[in-house]
Amino acid sequence: MRRERALELIDTQSGGDVSRIVTAGIEPLPGRTVLEKARYLQAEGDGLRRLLLSEPYGDPAMSVDLIVEPGNPEAQAGYIIMEAMGYPMYSGSNTICVATALLESGMIEMTEGLQKIVLESPAGLAHITARNADGHVESITTQGEPAYVAERGLGVEVPDYGRVEFDLVWSGAYFAMIRSADHDFELTADEQIALTAFGDAFVRTARPGLRQEHPSLGDVGPLPFVHFMGRVRTMENGAVESRSATYVHPGVICRSPTGTGTSARLALMAGQGDLGPGDTLETISPRGNRFLGTVVGDTTVGDYPAWHSTITASARLMARSRVTVDLDDPLVDVSDLEQLLSP
């Protein structure tokens, strides 16, 4: 008899970035908060991430979100985010996908019109407004933890690329913020291979010595993201937009502009006085997908001036499936997976 287990999945996408949401098939994780559950999963059950982001089950360009019980009574659900780089504390596109999936699947009861829900990520609470019509979620606006500029004016000599200057911004993870024009990138679709190569070389060079601590979350791991910032353009109607690209280490250029990348950009611009409360920036990925970021107001994180912001975008459900995991398949690494799977 083969040893088989099953996972219930909802596949979604926002801005072209695919989030595979695990809704059933995993045993309850130890821990009171979602952060504690995420750290347990990272230390003791990383096989789930590897399984669903690797061939033959998945692709490293995707994300995986595991629905868990929240620790905060304000939240209706919790979710742990898994990507090629590991376990980000927060993600805008993943939050948009998770909220849409929970509402459209009925795991959270949907109401017509504007509906407010609260989800718990490892970083804390995400306050979400869904715009619903005819049983579908038309858009999600999410406000996660505030972003702050950790260090400005950094630089590193990258082999084959020369000196690269950047700012380090926290927005659910640390982002190295790089001006694309400094390196002759226009952030178009035909540059994605070159952007990936640049991002890979930069992260491998820049990681040593960069901070890995967050004032309240503690050790958040080595630098995972690079956000390439295009020129800011003011349109005839007064709207402000900018091309952007986010590199996820190792080897992924996001299809969307990314919510956390956009929030990091907003914090950087607000800190420079270029944006204020109520101002918006629409970011455009190399594939032409758009997210709308809005500055909400200022705050502090530890000793850092910080900025609250919201990200607005939509997500689409692509599939609902029941995946069979054959524990005797030599391509399945069961070393820290079998204990997680429900019998």
d(CA 19, CA 341) in angstroms, rounded, equals 20
d(CA 218, CA 221) in angstroms, rounded, equals 9
CA distances from 251 to 36, 109, 203, 263 (A): 28, 38, 10, 22
DSSP state letters, 110-121: --SEEEEEEEEE
- Contact present, 92 and 142 (Cβ < 8 Å): yes
**Quick check: helix, strand or coil at residue 341?**
strand
Half-sphere exposure of 341 toward its Cβ, with a 13 Å CA cutoff? 23
Query: Which candidate in 14, 19, 91, 256 is catalytic?
Result: 91
d(CA 65, CA 183) in angstroms, rounded, equals 34
| Helix and strand numbers, DSSP H then E, in the chain | 5, 19
Handedness of CA 307, 137, 20, 15 (dihedral sign): negative
Residue 335 falls in the annotated catalytic set: no
Residues marked as catalytic = 91
